Amino acid sequence: MTQFTISTAAALMAATSAFAQVETRIVQFENEGAMLSGTLYLPEGHDGSALPTVVVTGAWTSVEEQLPSVYAREIVERGFAAFTFDFRGWGKSGDLPKAVRFVESPAAKTSDIRAAFDYVRTLPEVDPARLNGLGICASAGYMVDAVAGNAQVDRIGLVAPWLQNEALVEAVYGGPEGVDGLISLSRSAEADGGQIIPAAGPEGAEGVLMPIGGYYFEADRGAVPAYDNKWNNAGWEGWLTYHPANHAERLTQPLAIVHSEAAAIPQGVRDFLAGFTGEATLKMLEDVTQFDFYDNPEDVTRAADAMAAHFSQ
């Protein structure tokens, strides 16, 4: 397995200057009867010619204004177009079937990514022969499944990927008994038409999906006005029985991963790569936490540099 050769950035750009160099266009596209809201990112003053393009997706419960937009802007600064969107049931997009919202459904989100690829390649500013996917955190598995067998997509990159299998699910969620309990909760919530709780809260809060403070709870980070900050307990079964670390054999496109031993479940990356037989590059950064990958300028820059190098090949 080879390592990336990454060019050194001369300096980190301030957010205001980064925004000044990117143009955005709000669009809508359809999937399975629902309208999804997306954003096309282009270099400022772009002449309309077709660019290599990256579809960017983010962590569980996230909306496109959070970490997907951070990486989309970084990607555009490196000579690409980028595309982000809200999954069905989240943010500005329409509902899942039966008017359901805030369910972390791997199947639905994978389907939405495929629909995004289908839509983006029709845009005149997008080079359909150079279409790539970038999945961050939880959506890494969705991106793998959406890209697998999809001849439209040239390359795939994963940043801080949450790639779980049965053993890792049990390790994270309280062993077999903890997993069984959450699945029972999921079925009960689904039978009741859903059970919605806050997604993020302060450290130690009760009745909250992520009672840890940090990115999702901080107003100057992930607690942006567009964030739903909701979780539907009906989604637990689909999430806990989803094992993308076992899906490596599905993927044939060249793959790049940036992760850290200090971030979430690095064992999932090792398990995934053990089953991957294609072309892969891995960059492990030191002492970078999961949330650092979301918005810490230095770490985002290093990850974006690595992804741009991979997508440029």
The model's pTM is 0.93
Strands of the chain, DSSP E: 22-31, 34-43, 51-57, 81-85, 126-136, 155-159, 196-198, 230-232, 255-260, 280-285
Side-chain-side CA neighbours of residue 145 (13 Å): 20
Read off φ and ψ for residue 135, nearest 5 degrees.
-110, 130
- Listed residue (20, 19, 18, 38) closest to 28, CA to CA: 38
Q: How many residues does the chain have?
A: 313
Q: What is the pLDDT of residue 10?
A: 27
Positions in the chain short of pLDDT 70: 1-20
Other beta carbons less than 10 A from residue 78's beta carbon: 18
pLDDT in tens, 268-307: 999 999 999 999 999 999 999 999 999 999 999 999 999 9
pLDDT in tens, 248-266: 999 999 999 999 999 999 9
Q: What is the pLDDT of residue 11?
A: 30
- Listed residue (58, 141, 61) closest to 101, CA to CA: 61
Q: What is the pLDDT of residue 4?
A: 34
Other beta carbons less than 10 A from residue 220's beta carbon: 7
Ordered domains of the chain (ranges, CATH): 15-167+242-312 (3.40.50.1820)
Q: Which residues of 32-61 are buried (b: 16+ CB within 10 A; e: fewer)?
A: eebebbbbbbbbeeeeeeebbbbbbbbbbb
